């Protein structure tokens, strides 16, 4: 699955290196999806799949956060989850959170 940007776009940066970022990927079959720049230490905040009707306008937005995990650096996974083929998937994360 291709990423629409080289890395996550930083939306905010808080003290101590904590930040929030978002990226968009082209969906696909349930399983691994490449998200360049995401780390296993990051936390998923939102995963939204945008479906299109007639190929032009969004027809539905579905929250899929409960289906996704960060399975490895640069990879999110939704095994046995929703097939997001032909959808735009927006992924929002928090990075640099203290452990």
CA distance 25 to 6: 11
Tens digit of each residue's pLDDT (9 = 90 or more) over 21-33: 889 999 999 999 9
pLDDT exceeds 50 at position 39 = yes
1 against 28, higher pLDDT = 28
Tokens 């989850």 sit on residue: 81
Tokens 């083929």 sit on residue: 85
Arithmetic mean of pLDDT, 41-48: 94
């Amino acid at each position: 699955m291709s990423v629409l940007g080289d890395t996550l776009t930083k939306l905010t940066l808080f003290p101590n290196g904590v930040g929030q970022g978002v990226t968009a990927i082209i969906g696909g079959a349930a399983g691994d999806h490449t998200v360049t720049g995401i780390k296993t230490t990051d936390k998923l905040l939102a995963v939204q799949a945008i479906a299109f009707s007639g190929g032009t306008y969004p027809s539905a937005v579905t929250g899929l956060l409960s289906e996704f995990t960060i399975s490895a650096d640069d990879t999110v996974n939704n095994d046995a989850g929703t097939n997001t083929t032909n959808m735009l998937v927006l992924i929002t994360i928090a990075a640099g959170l203290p452990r």
